[in-house]
Amino acid sequence: MNHQAELFVALQRLLPQHALSRLIAKAAEAKTPWLKNLLIRRAIAAFDINIDEAVSSDLDDYENFNSFFTRALKDGARPIDQSSDSLVSPADGEVSQAGPMTQQRIIQAKGIDYSASRLLGNSDEAKLYEDGSFTTIYLSPKDYHRVHMPIAGKLLRSRYIPGDLFSVNDKTVQALPGLFARNERLVCEFESELGQFALVFVGAMLVAGIETVWGGFETPGCGTVRDSDFSERDLSFDKGEEIGRFKFGSTVILLFQNNKIDWEESFLPQAAVQMGETIATFK
């Protein structure tokens, strides 16, 4: 770890992560027209956000900053690959890592890995993914922030796991071991034609919340693990269907069982991806 990265992580340790995120959340929910429009304009300029692909480019149509940040896109802006053997990206972003797991080890960065057991918060469920496949996709503030299904599936259960709220940008990923298994996260497990797979929403510094279409807003900083069983409910989703959203930049992690998929050759670290494009094919 270089001195700059060490300092960046040290500063994050000193910050009141949850209090700061709650403060940002309050500002992001403000409906005062001049304030929310100022925040939106600043974000568009700072992050080079493409407002033209949104359903509305009129700032007055957004009741607050969060409604802008989780904006819907125009029909056809993210076509969903319809090939019967394709796995599609669940989100816009950048590939942080992708590849095979060695037993239960997931690569975070060069020389850094962590366990599926820690990520999922359940050692028995983690065994399902031994020697499986994984990918980590980072959503920057400029990206579309809704998360969609990579393949059709039925929700079995979810687990909200409290934790830290470190930044998930590349500098922190390269410097802080076990980052994704330390941050707050929502683990969602689905049944599909590929068998069971996991999709994990990972919270981060300044993330004002994770929201799902079945459970609504997941309150950060609650301090307790929350397990929810959905196996008796018919919560089935098509490939490309929206399942949730982040209220600021963060990360999505996918885990698949052994010998189920082949990643596309172009699906490599630092590659840009868009929701709906093929990232792997079924075996």
* Domain limits, the chain: 3-69, 86-282
State pLDDT tens for residues 115-160: 999 999 999 999 999 999 999 999 988 999 999 999 999 999 999 9
Residues with a catalytic annotation lie at 92, 148, 250
Distance CA(226)–CA(162), nearest Å, equals 9
Q: What is the pLDDT at residue 1?
A: 46
CA-based nearest residue to 197, from 124, 110, 260: 260
Residue type, 220: P
pTM: 0.89
Strand ranges for the chain from DSSP E: 86-88, 93-100, 105-109, 112-115, 133-139, 146-148, 153-161, 185-192, 195-202, 210-212, 216-218, 226-229, 236-237, 242-246, 250-256, 261-263, 272-273, 278-282
Distance CA(189)–CA(116), nearest Å, equals 13
pLDDT in tens, the chain (283 residues): 444 544 433 443 434 345 555 556 666 777 889 989 998 999 899 989 999 999 999 999 999 988 998 999 999 999 999 999 999 999 999 999 999 999 999 988 777 888 999 999 999 999 999 999 999 999 988 999 999 999 999 999 999 988 766 666 677 777 677 777 878 889 999 999 999 999 999 987 655 578 999 998 876 556 788 999 999 999 999 999 999 998 766 899 999 999 999 999 999 999 999 999 999 999 7
Instruction: Name the CA radius of gyration of the chain, rounded.
Output: 18
- Could you tell me which residues are beta bridge partners of residue 200? 187, 253
